[in-house]
Chain A
Amino acid sequence: NAGVTQTPKFQVLKTGQSMTLQCAQDMNHNSMYWYRQDPGMGLRLIYYSASEGTTDKGEVPNGYNVSRLNKREFSLRLESAAPSQTSVYFCASASVQGIQLSNEQFFGPGTRLTVL
């Protein structure tokens, strides 16, 4: 049982390049989330997917797109990377019933992204 996995672990991009961050969970959770962590700012929600086939914006969605590929996988895409997107990105998953979390969110190990 791997929990939440993320690839890659590290990535360096040049301004304007694109890339996709991958996330997968094996806990049969229906909801998945992307956060970014910046020093002194905690974690901020980028996008989330309440269930397979749905996605919604979070607090800081600009410059990002997401795809909920199936129940297990939720990817985050940067179409044209900017230095402001240098951050650590965390994927999380949770079991949800209606509008309520059934339990806590489970987090992946993170992807450290640097945009030059």
Chain B
Amino acid sequence: AQSVAQPEDQVNVAEGNPLTVKCTYSVSGNPYLFWYVQYPNRGLQFLLKYITGDNLVKGSYGFEAEFNKSQTSFHLKKPSALVSDSALYFCAVGRSGGGADGLTFGKGTHLIIQP
């Protein structure tokens, strides 16, 4: 069965420093991978996705993610963190094949950017 692991419950980064939020996955076949962000008392907002193509994916708000097939990872990165990036981040993978039957989410990582 497919699964997603976000090994860090919380990541603390100083404003202006680079940030990384880690995600590893397990799925049979080619993965459909996603990152979403959730601000307090809000729904999920899409950041970026990997379906096929270049391993480095660029998304919203200056975020990017690198797909690494050999390490089964899809880490989220940003070169320079902003205080407004503080939120809850979820990595997700399609439940089977192309994800038409829904997504499996990681438990989420709280990102805290300190001024």
Contact = CB atoms under 8 A, between A and B. Distances in A.
Interface of A: 4, 31, 33, 35, 40-45, 48, 50, 56, 58-59, 90, 92, 94, 96, 98-101, 103-110
A101 B98 contact: yes
23 contacts: A4-B43, A35-B105, A40-B9, A40-B108, A42-B4, A42-B106, A42-B107, A44-B105, A48-B101, A58-B101, A59-B104, A94-B100, A96-B98, A99-B97, A99-B98, A100-B100, A101-B98, A101-B99, A101-B100, A104-B46, A104-B49, A105-B103, A107-B43
Contacts of A94: 100
A108 B43 contact: yes
Contact of A33 (B34, B98, B102): B102
Contact of A100 (B36, B98, B103, B105): B98
Interface residues of B, number: 29
Given A48-B101, A101-B100, 18 more contacts: A33-B103, A40-B9, A41-B107, A42-B108, A43-B90, A43-B103, A45-B95, A48-B102, A58-B102, A59-B104, A98-B98, A100-B32, A101-B32, A101-B94, A101-B98, A105-B34, A107-B36, A109-B43
